């Protein structure tokens, strides 16, 4: 299946732009719905976003009966697998909670991996109508199997990308792979960054990029920078040493993407800082797990800002707010996940004036993507 059920037909005309966009890494959607549905429902009803972008939904894609991870068989990545008892229980839970409650207000666009891993969802208010929705980036080649599905080249094989083309800009939602602590993981992340960098150069529309980008750009984006630099891999090459997401190599590539893409880190633009902010405050989107069956948990009390809204420089006049919606070592506002929601608010194009008048720490632009020649409309990140 090359299009998901709710996707616009080829050649459709876009109508309207979202103003309030929320991103949240759910760290397992079925788990959170099972344990925290009332909190999630209340949060969505109170926030009432135009678009909700979820990462790490961890629902396997539908495929041929008996299909296994990495078997090369074509998947229907816009649909969830419904074979085993657990798969049926998880999908039934999603249907009777999130879908049953919000299907009248939102269209649902899934991008899922072969197994219970990664995966993303974009919920779009039905009064908005994107001209096109795509699920990979055409700059991904066959140089790394984790980013290329030969059975269906229109989808990222791990469900990490959804891009919707609205009236005046493209909304790209991604779940970037973790850098890991071994050469194979380093290569996978480097291939991702390379492809996105190439796509950024080719973008031809304004872009808002949102999601879990799995990198903390500066020392001020982690609670304990010196501590994080000493964690995990400490071998060669030296620029891969440290906590995944906080290595020199990842941070360097991210800054290059910002410059190449002519985009701006929306949160840091509106909340400039020269020093590491207080660890207890709403400044970090990921928080370490508190102790469960032990007296001390290594990452408890520590945090990283690895979820972003990256806004095209030409859209800065429309940037109204960007807020981290959780805080503290106890993960207040995290809705059960290890990530809290991030909210980005834009003005309507007609009411956009000058960029926010605030003191700003000098910093580079941000990210974006590209369109495949087979796509029905000119979009930024497509295949």
Q: Which residues are annotated as a binding site for Mg(2+)?
A: 25, 56, 212, 214, 338-339
Distance CA 262, CA 199 (A): 12
Which residue among the candidates 135, 175, 233, 299 is catalytic per the annotation? 175
Phi, psi for residue 284 in degrees, rounded to 5: -135, 135
Distance CA 366, CA 363 (A): 10
Distance CA 172, CA 207 (A): 7
Distance CA 333, CA 356 (A): 27
Q: DSSP labels for 51-112?
A: EEEEE----PEE-STT--TT-----EEEEE---SHHHHHHHHHHIIIIIHHHTTTEEEEEE-
Which residue among the candidates 283, 307, 339, 383 is catalytic per the annotation? 339
293 is catalytic: no
What distance separates the 2 farthest-apart alpha carbons in the chain?
58
**Tokens of residue 142, six digits:** 């066959």
How far lies 181's CA from each of 147, 212, 242, 358, in Å?
19, 19, 9, 39
Beta carbons of 343 and 22 less than 8 angstroms apart: yes
* 3-state secondary structure at position 142: coil
339 is catalytic: yes
- Work out the number of other CB atoms within 10 angstroms of the CB of residue 47: 13
Distance CA 224, CA 70 (A): 38
Beta carbons of 366 and 263 less than 8 angstroms apart: yes
Where is the binding site, in residues? 25, 56, 212, 214, 338-339
- Work out the number of other CB atoms within 10 angstroms of the CB of residue 321: 15
Which residue among the candidates 17, 170, 212, 221 is catalytic per the annotation? 212
Catalytic residue annotation = 175, 212, 339
């Amino acid at each position: 299946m090359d299009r998901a059920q709710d996707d616009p037909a080829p050649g459709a005309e876009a109508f309207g732009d979202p103003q309030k966009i929320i991103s949240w890494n759910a760290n397992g959607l079925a788990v959170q719905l099972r344990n925290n549905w009332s909190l999630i429902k209340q949060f969505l009803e109170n926030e009432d976003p135009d678009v909700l972008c979820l990462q790490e939904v961890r629902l396997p894609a539908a495929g041929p009966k008996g299909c296994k991870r990495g078997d090369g068989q074509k998947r229907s990545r816009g649909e969830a697998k419904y074979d085993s008892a657990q798969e049926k229980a998880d999908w039934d839970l999603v249907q009777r909670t999130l879908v049953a409650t919000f299907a009248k207000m939102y269209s649902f666009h899934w991008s899922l991996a072969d197994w219970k891993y990664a995966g993303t969802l974009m919920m779009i208010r039905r009064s908005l109508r994107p001209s096109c929705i795509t699920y990979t980036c055409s700059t991904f080649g066959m140089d790394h199997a984790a980013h290329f599905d030969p059975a269906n080249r229109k989808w990222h094989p791990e469900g990490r990308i959804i891009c919707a083309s609205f009236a005046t800009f493209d909304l790209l939602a991604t779940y970037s792979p973790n850098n890991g602590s071994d050469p194979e993981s380093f290569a996978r992340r480097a291939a991702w960054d390379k492809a996105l960098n190439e796509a950024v150069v080719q973008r031809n529309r304004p872009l808002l990029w949102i999601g879990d980008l799995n990198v903390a750009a500066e020392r001020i984006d982690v609670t304990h920078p010196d501590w994080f630099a000493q964690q995990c891999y400490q071998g060669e090459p030296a620029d891969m040493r440290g906590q995944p997401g906080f290595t020199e190599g990842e941070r360097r590539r991210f800054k290059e993407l910002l410059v190449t893409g002519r985009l701006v880190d929306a949160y840091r633009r509106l909340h400039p800082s020269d020093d590491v902010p207080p660890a207890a405050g709403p400044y970090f989107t990921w928080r370490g797990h508190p102790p469960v069956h032990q007296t001390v948990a290594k990452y408890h009390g520590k945090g990283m800002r690895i979820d972003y809204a990256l806004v095209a420089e030409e859209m800065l006049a429309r940037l109204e707010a960007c807020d981290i919606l959780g805080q503290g070592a106890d993960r207040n506002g995290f809705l059960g996940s290890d990530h809290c929601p991030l909210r980005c608010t834009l003005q309507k194009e007609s009411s956009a004036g000058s960029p926010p008048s605030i003191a700003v720490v000098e910093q580079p632009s941000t990210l974006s993507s590209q369109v495949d020649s087979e796509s029905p409309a000119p979009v930024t990140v497509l295949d």
